[in-house]
Each structure stands twice: as C-alpha cells, then as structure tokens.
Chain A
Amino acid sequence: PVPRTVYSNHWAVRVPGGPERAAQLAAKYGYLNMGQIGNLENYYHFYHSKTIKRSTYSSPGRHNFLQMDPDVDWVQQQLIKKRVKR
C-alpha cells in the first residue's frame, strides 16, 4: 500500500510584514502564532486547535482566507513526515 499523506493542524506562513503583522493575521483568522520558524526570516508557525490534529485530508475551508490575505505570501499546511532513527 502506498503511504497516505497525513495533514497536521500546523501551518507555515510567509508574512513579509514582520512579527507584528504575523501576530495580527494569526489572531484575525483564529490561529495561534507559535513564532518565527527557527532562523527563517518572515516565516511563521501557525497552529489551529480546531482543526483535526492528524487527517488524511487537507483542510482548506477557512484556511483559504489566510492564503488569500494580501499580506500573506505563502501558506503551507504541514504534512507529517515519516522520519526514522538510524
């Protein structure tokens, strides 16, 4: 069987407007802003508690609004990757 894609309730979002704008956007669309992703400038980690934690379907719906916001460059719902210790 082909492994199925598993979607999480975390998103990566690129907001060129800076951390404040990212916080505003997260609040506006109902996400929790988990802050900048490591050292990657303008990339933020959003979390949505009302989305299923692990799903084989992506969650468009309300998340499309975030994607359509003019202050957002790029959005990616996070896939759960199978990683194996060697």
Chain B
Amino acid sequence: HLRLDPNLLYFNDPIWSNMWYLHCSDKSSRCRSEMNVMAAWQRGYTGKNVVVSILDDGVEKNHPDLIHNYDPFASHDVNGDDQDPSPRYDASNENKHGTRCAGEVAASANNSYCIVGIAYNARIGGIRMLDGDVTDVVEAKALGIRPDYIDIYSASWGPDDDGKTVDGPGPLAKKAFEDGIKKGRKGLGSIFVWASGNGGREGDYCSCDGYTNSIYTISISSTTENGYKPWYLEECASTLATTYSSGAFYERKIVTTDLRQRCTDDHTGTSVSAPMVAGVIALALEANPMLNWRDIQHILVKTSRSVHLRAPDWRINGAGRRVSHLYGFGLVDADAMVVEAKKWRTVPPQHVCIGASDKRPRFIRADQLIRTTTQTNACADHSGQHVVYLEHVVVKVTISHPRRGDLQINLISPSGTKSQLLARRTFDYSNEGFKNWEFMTVHCWGEKAEGEWMLEMHDIPSQLRNPETQGKLKEWTLILYGTAEHPYNPFSFHHARAKALDLSAGDMEPSKVAFFQSHLEFEEEDEYSGPCHMECGDRGCDGPGSEQCLNCVHFSLGNVKSGRKCVSACPLGYMADVASRRCRRCHRGCEACFGRGQNQCSSCKRGFYLQPESNTCTTSCPAGAYSEESLRRCLKCHQNCKKCLGYPDKCVVCRDGFSLSGSMCVPDCEPGTFFNVALMKCDKCHATCQSCVGTGKDQCTQCAKDFHLHDWRCIPTCSHGFYSDDVPGLPHRICRRCEENCLICEATGKNCIKCKEGYSLLSGSCVTNHTCNNADEMFCEMVKSSKLCERKLFIQFCCRTCMLAG
C-alpha cells in the first residue's frame, strides 16, 4: 500500500477536480478512489509505450487533450478506407462517441485542458468503423488493424441492447478475434476490452451479445458513484470486472473529452467503462509488457474487488472469489493490477476440453424446471486438453422455443457455483430459439473442472402461449477452458522444514499460544520427507494429508480442538477471511457471509431468504419483495408491481396507474386505447371497442356505446340464437346465447320463439321431436298432474307426446 499524497499528484487540467473516481483531494467531499489509479501513477505507471486504439465512430486527433498522445499508426478509417480516423462532423455531433472514449484512456495530463486520462502517457489511436454500414468484413478489418502494434482494442458498441436481440460476431470477426489472440502482440495476444451493454431498462441480458460473451473479450460493466446498479446496466455471467460510470441524477458523472475540442460530463452509460479498463490495462502492460491476453484476465480476476458495490447476488465461488452477475469480480483496482503485473509469472498454457454433445432432446415445459447433468473428467485422459483449474466455461446450446424471452438458463459447476447464463427478457418474443449459441461464464474461475455439471432451464411464460407448442433443448455441449496446473502456485512437493504451525494467535488464548510455541520449540519429530497435499503452503507439512499442512495455500478450516485442514475454498456456512487465511463460521441461517454478524450474510441456507438491504437471512420476505427460491433471497418486485409471486414481473397486484396484463403491470391507457407491449406505448382500439387488448375488432374487452360484446367483438345487434342482456357494472350490453336448440328467443332470453330444425316449441322451450313417443294415457296424466311440463328441467319428459295425445 502506498500512502497517497494528493499534493504530489496535482494536475492543472480544469476538470481534474471533477474526476471524483480518480482522486480524493477534497476531504470535505465524498471520496471514491477505490479504483486506486493515483496509487498506480505514484508507482510511476502512466501507460508509457503502450498503444490503445478505440474502435468506434472516429477520434478527433487534433483535440488538444489527445493530440499529444495521438498515434497515427494505431489508427485507421475502415469506413473511408484511409488512414485518417477523424470523425465526420454533423449538426447533431453524432460521431462524438470515439473521441469521448479516447479521452478516458489517454487525455494528456497537466496541459491545462479538460481532463487527465487514466493512462495519460499511453499512445492513443482510433479505428473509424461505426460511421457506415457495419458488416462482418468491416468488423473483421477493424479488429485486425496492426495487431503487432496495437496492444489494446477498446470497443463500446455491439448489437442492439433492446432486450430482444441475440447477435454476435460473424465468421470473419470471430476469426479476427482468434487471430488477434493467437498472433497479436507478437504472440502474446491482443487485448480486446468490451462494454457490457446498456439494455438494463429493456431487461436485456449481456449473454445475448456475442461480443461481451466471448472468451476473447474482457467484458466490463459499470457501477454508480454510490455502488448501485445503474439503470442502464445489463447483467450476465461473462462480465469480468467493473468501473465507475454515470448513475442517477443525484450521483456524480464521468468527465471526458468531447467533439469540437470540448470537454463534457454528459451521461456516459457503460461506454466509458471499457476505455477506463483499457487505461488500467495499459498501466499494467507498462509494468510488465510480457503479459499475455490470459495473464491480463487472470490479474483482473485476482485484483478486482467487490468493495461497496451493491448487488443482490454476490457469492463466493468454489475458488474463494466473490463474483456477481452485475459486476463480475468487482471494481478494478489499478494499483493492485500494476503490483501483480510487475511480479506476474505467465500462467500455464490454456487447455480446452470440449465435452461430448448431449443430443437427447428434452421438452421444456412451461413453469417447470428441467435439469440435465453431465459428468466430466475434464479430459484427464488427454494431456494437452486436461483442464484442472477453470478459466472460462462455455455452454453451447441449440434450443427451439415459441417465445425465447421466457427462458431462463443456469449452469451449476461441480463446486456448486450457479451462473445465470440467461435471464428472462420481457421483450424478446422471438420464436427462433438459440442455434449453437455459446453462453459463457467466468463465475467458476479458479474452480476445479472435474465432476458433475448441471444445466437448469426454466420456461416461465410472461404471456398466454399456445400450450401445445413447447420449447425443446435439442443439444448442449460443455466447453471448459483452463489450465492443467495451478495458475499461480504450480504444484510442487514441499518438505517439512519450518516447524511453525499456521495458527493465528488471535484465535487462541495467550496461554495456549505460549504453550504451542514452547511445545513446538522443544518437540523432536521424525522429519517427514514425502509429498505434501496440494493445499499446503510453502512451509511444508508433517504428512500427506490436508490436515497435516504447516500452513495453507488458500484457507485453513476448523479449530485447534477439532483439528484443522487446508482447503482451496471455504465450505458453505463459512467465510473466507483473506487476511488470516481462515474459514470463519457465518451466523446461523447464512450460507455465505462477509462477517460473522447477523447482518453480514451474502447468501442464505435452505429455508432462509437474504434481505439485501440488511444482509440478514430471514424465513420470510417483507412487502414489495418476493422470496426467490433458487437464489434464496428476497428480491424486489418490478417497479410497477405492488405484489408479485415467484418472479419480479409475475405481478398479482399493480401500483396505481398500472393494470394487470397477464402477469405484467402495464400502464393504464386512455379509454379507447390499450397498452401495446411490442411497441411499449398506448395504441388505439378498434372503433367499436371502448377498451381492448389489441387493435383487432375481435380483441375488445368493453364495447363502445350501443354495441354488444360477443366473442371479443362489439356488434350493433345480437345475431340469431342470442339475445341482448345487461351485466351489472359493465357499460355495454352483451349477447347471451338463447337456451339450447333455440333459434330465436325473446329479448329477455326466457322464452324461445323459434326452435332449430328437429325441435318443437313447447311452452317457450324447444323439445326434440323424437323424445318419448310411446307415453300412454296414464303416464301422461301423471306428467300433467305433476306439472312436469311447466318445469323447464323436465320439459323434455314426454310433454310433446302427451300434448299431441291431448
């Protein structure tokens, strides 16, 4: 840790004081310097000799804050097919995006202009490729511009974040990514940084964006100044890390360079998060230029921290790392990045283990959870493919489904880490399903690959669907990426040399500490010379078991009384105390926690639900929230919902101004209009309707004046076989069916006037011509005396025969 001296690093750039996410010079204001950028600067890392290029709509190369670091060799114009990436200027400044991103990376420091870039001495270029038709060729060209010269490509764009798009790189762009990874930076691999997506308001999920969801890109999300989820943020399991970005109106924004040589603090969304991380990676590459593309991802995983970021799903994976679907492994830490980079030893080679495709078709029934498992030895029998320690995990699926947005997919690793590969997307009504779509998760990073993997699929219809059309999982394949050896502590046999037990003095009474120390000093033991358990630390062991280590690589579990053993990760019900390398028991009801207190739970045991506001585990959820069974947490109902069941948008009671449409709460519309879910606006009903559920004339729910509701239509008069009737509480009349077999009935509906063929009118009712044709006189007397023909229920009972018989 460096002691920061704000006076040592003062810049004369006029907006420097507004860069709250980099420094805390004003002690009276709120401080948000957890990204530790200044500490990295103080170590002398500012991005020198590192080349970053922004793939976007151009870069204003003569912007006073960029001109000094601008690098023409890191630039190209794919749209104009020349070397100049200058943006096309128009009245609306449409092409400001690339220039804004570039400033965040490498705006010059101390030039009395605008801001200070995170890597203010890095070289910056622009690849202009968004100002024209974007095709696979355009993307492939952009991703492959001078891969031996450009170190980091930063992209803050992608397929539409409208909550209904599933799209990713085409074959050429995919190949460009692969080529960049294999050959870029003279074989070390190009670094591709990607913004996770802005579709939060549309319920989008970034696993449906094949760029952020790729193992080759570093997917970056955003958090607000106060550590909240920004309204625009998309979640997914492939997000690796996070930076600050703009949030609610009362939270501070990000400042950067702008088109026409200006500076701006406009709303930034997730777009500046990618260049911020590109800048931080530039600092790390300056510290150690030999880092390869996977080293960078490992260092990000290792150094990013959850700090105060608020997410309902923070959990510790099987390798002891806190990870969430909102923020990946957390906020980037530039200082920790450069410190790790400096001493980093290249991770072992990447192994890829492709599991056998499971092609057994399985129907996905609505409202039912289906699970399918695969047991893997992670290619243990192929040395070049064996994956022991995981990095990325990909699940390739082919699914047919009548409404893709109703699907939810989870993957559960052998260590029990549950990654949500796909969440429900309200607006995704496509019936195209997924064809060989690769969902990726980083949540199992560092875990052991071998064992049983489970895929969970849940189809929760958001609207009425044809029950006869079901979804079907047609094929799925598990693809494991990782290493055969431990990435940070390659397996080695330790010899017991040091004789100091790894017992934290804080855990024992002083007398016991003294006893143990003296006991150890004088005790003579036969020296053990065999291999130690792989969880044993550098002090060696007294035997091969994990309970015989003298210290631990990861964590020790247990206590002096019951005995201790080394584990790679703390089991459920315990928290990993990183400082003391101990597993500490959580409070009752907590499954995972960040402290031992009742209000320090991060996930709950079965039968308990986490209340995110208080971090407590309770047996029931408060009003406005529902208990999510699989996550075991209380989640808030959708903002339009007053009460919901099982899912945030499975509403049962709506807020004022909203009404139920299926299980959704949609805004109330003016009379004569309805809420069109596809267009997300009120649309006109057919002229005959007073209210409706669609534009068609057969989609009325209430009719205009003087019309009658019949079979969802509003008609001026009822047709034959029906009569007009009032319904209390309804503004219109409805057509009711006359009694059975009646062709025309009175306006009251009580008496029939004309019967269908084969029936005869009898006392206002229709009786069949053939019923009871053999009643004798005596029988008819009985019928008459009992007045059966006056009672509708018995009118078919020989009445006609008896009448004919007099």
Contact = CB atoms under 8 A, between A and B. Distances in A.
Interface in B155-205: 156-161, 165, 167, 170-172, 175-176, 179-180, 183, 195, 197-198
B176 A85 contact: no
B535 interface: no
Contacts of A82: 134, 159-160, 165, 167
B489 to A, nearest CB: 36
A40 B270 contact: no
Nearest to A39: B144
B158 A12 contact: no
Contacts of B161: 84, 86
B217 to A, nearest CB: 13
A38 B156 contact: no
Given A76-B136, A78-B135, A86-B156, A2 B430 contact: yes
A83 B167 CA distance: 10
A84 B144 contact: no
Contacts of A27: none
Contact of B141 (A38, A79, A80, A83): A38
B133 A80 contact: yes
Contacts of A2: 430
Given A82-B160, A85-B97, A85-B130, A39 B179 contact: yes
A34 interface: yes
Interface in B134-158: 134-137, 139-145, 147, 156-158
B134 A81 contact: yes
A46 B447 CA distance: 46
Interface in B30-69: 56-57
A12 B136 contact: yes
Contact of B198 (A12, A34, A79, A86): A86
B674 to A, nearest CB: 18
A85 B140 contact: no
A79 B198 CA distance: 24
B172 A54 contact: no
B147 A39 contact: yes
A43 interface: yes
B270 A86 contact: yes
Contacts of B430: 2
B100 to A, nearest CB: 10
Interface in B734-782: none
Contacts of B147: 39
Contacts of A83: 130, 134, 157-159
B462 interface: no
Nearest to A7: B135
Contacts of B57: 85
Contacts of B167: 81-82
Contacts of B195: 86
B126 interface: no
A59 B78 CA distance: 24
Given A81-B135, A86-B197, A37 B158 contact: no
A42 B56 CA distance: 26
Contact of A79 (B130, B136, B140, B269): B136
B426 interface: no
B271 interface: yes
B793 to A, nearest CB: 55
A61 B147 CA distance: 37
B525 interface: no
A56 B338 CA distance: 50
Nearest to A74: B171
Given A81-B159, A85-B57, A86-B157, A12 B172 contact: yes
A76 B137 CA distance: 10
Select the residue from B141, B165, B171 with max chain A CB neighbours within 10 A: B141
A8 B160 contact: no
A85 B137 contact: no
B133 A8 contact: yes
Contact of A10 (B135, B142, B170): B135
A45 B176 CA distance: 14
B145 to A, nearest CB: 7
Contact of A84 (B135, B158, B170, B180): B158
B198 A40 contact: no
Interface of B: 56-57, 81, 97, 130, 133-137, 139-145, 147, 156-161, 165, 167, 170-172, 175-176, 179-180, 183, 195, 197-198, 269-271, 430
Which 10 pairs across A and B sit closest by C-beta, in order of nearness? A38-B144, A39-B144, A78-B135, A38-B141, A83-B134, A86-B271, A85-B97, A86-B195, A80-B133, A86-B156
Interface of A: 2, 8, 10, 12, 34, 37-40, 43, 45, 54, 76, 78-86
19 contacts: A10-B135, A37-B137, A38-B141, A38-B143, A39-B179, A40-B140, A40-B172, A40-B175, A45-B141, A54-B133, A76-B172, A78-B137, A81-B167, A83-B130, A83-B134, A83-B157, A83-B158, A86-B161, A86-B198
Given A12-B172, A86-B197, 18 more contacts: A8-B135, A10-B137, A12-B136, A37-B144, A38-B145, A43-B175, A76-B172, A79-B135, A80-B134, A81-B139, A84-B158, A84-B160, A85-B57, A85-B130, A86-B156, A86-B158, A86-B269, A86-B270
